[in-house]
Structures are given as C-alpha cells and as structure tokens.
Amino acid sequence: MSGADKPRLVERRASLRKPSRRDLDRLRASNADIEVDDDDGHHTKGGSTVWKPKTKMACTYRMGPVRKFLPHVVKKRAQEILDKAFTDLAYDHDNCREVSDKVSTDTMAFVKEQAFDRYRYVVRVVVGEKKGQTVKIVGRALWDQEKDNFLTVTHENRHLYAVCTVFALYFE
C-alpha cells in the first residue's frame, strides 16, 4: 500500500463511524427502532429510539403530477364562495377580516377535495373599501411554468372589492 492511499482509508473510516450516544439521544423523538453494535461486538438496542419521516410520500422518481391542477375546475366554485360571502356586505375592517378568513378556508377545503396530485396550495383573499382608487395586487414566487398554476376570482359591490387568488405549487 502506498503512502498516498493511507489518507484515503483514514477519511473513509471516519465517515463510516458508529453512531455515538449523543447521536442516539438526538434521535429519541423519532419513530423507528435503531439497533447498534457496541465496541465489544454486543448487539444492543439504542433505547426506544424511533424515526419519523417528514413526508408521507414514497420516492417514485416521478418528475410530474399524474393529475395536474386545473384552474377551470376550481374557478366556478371559488367564484360562488366569494359571491355568497361578499354580495350584500358593507365594508367593515373587522367583519371583512372574519369573512375573508372563512372564504379562504372554504376555498382551500374545496381545492383539497379535488385531490390534485402532489400540490401545495396558497389561498389569498384581499378585501378593500371602494373609494375610486386604483388597486394593484401582486404575488411573487419561484415558479415552474409546466407544473405550477394559479387562478384569480374577483367580486365587487358598491362598498368593497374582494380578490381571491389560489396558487397551486407542485411538490416533488
């Protein structure tokens, strides 16, 4: 064995070290049993250590959704929810906040019922008093034009305007 090979072996051994007690203590709040061989070669169980994965999806190596988010499927129902909530409502800051929270919750529930594959949703409702002003509502995000999508529905009456935007972002 040459002298140049020895440092490589030392680095490889360091990366394949056994987990320490500190590593095991750090994993105590997880959800799968971990078994460790001691230095003496005895097989011991590392406490009731369990490991819980953050996501529930299995790795499928799929790069796109099976069922893409289709805005036209959601748009009609989102418009109905928005119209029903704000039709005869006068602008009041506190009341409009509660109504917009309910609209966003109902819209989110409907979108989730549609079971579009591997999407995360953001529902944003903006309500303002009409006083002859111009309003621009802007949203910025990292965007994949092939997989991500959005829809916007609006409602106006004499007293207020309401804009509901649903962003559907694909989660690989």
Domains observed in the chain:
5-45 (no CATH), 71-170 (3.30.1140.40)
Mean pLDDT of 96-115: 94
CA distance 110 to 44: 50
Q: What percent of the chain has pLDDT over 70?
A: 65
Q: For the chain, how big is the Rg over CA atoms in Å?
A: 27
Tell me if 125 sits within 8 A of 164, measured CB to CB: yes
CA distance 42 to 51: 22
Number of Cβ within a 10 Å radius of residue 149: 20
Q: List, for residues 35-84, the tens digit of each pLDDT value.
A: 545 555 555 554 444 555 555 666 677 778 888 898 999 999 999 999 99
Tell me which residue of 141, 133, 147 sits closest to 165, measured CA to CA: 141
Strands, E assignment, the chain: 35-37, 43-45, 119-129, 149-156, 160-170
pTM of the model: 0.63
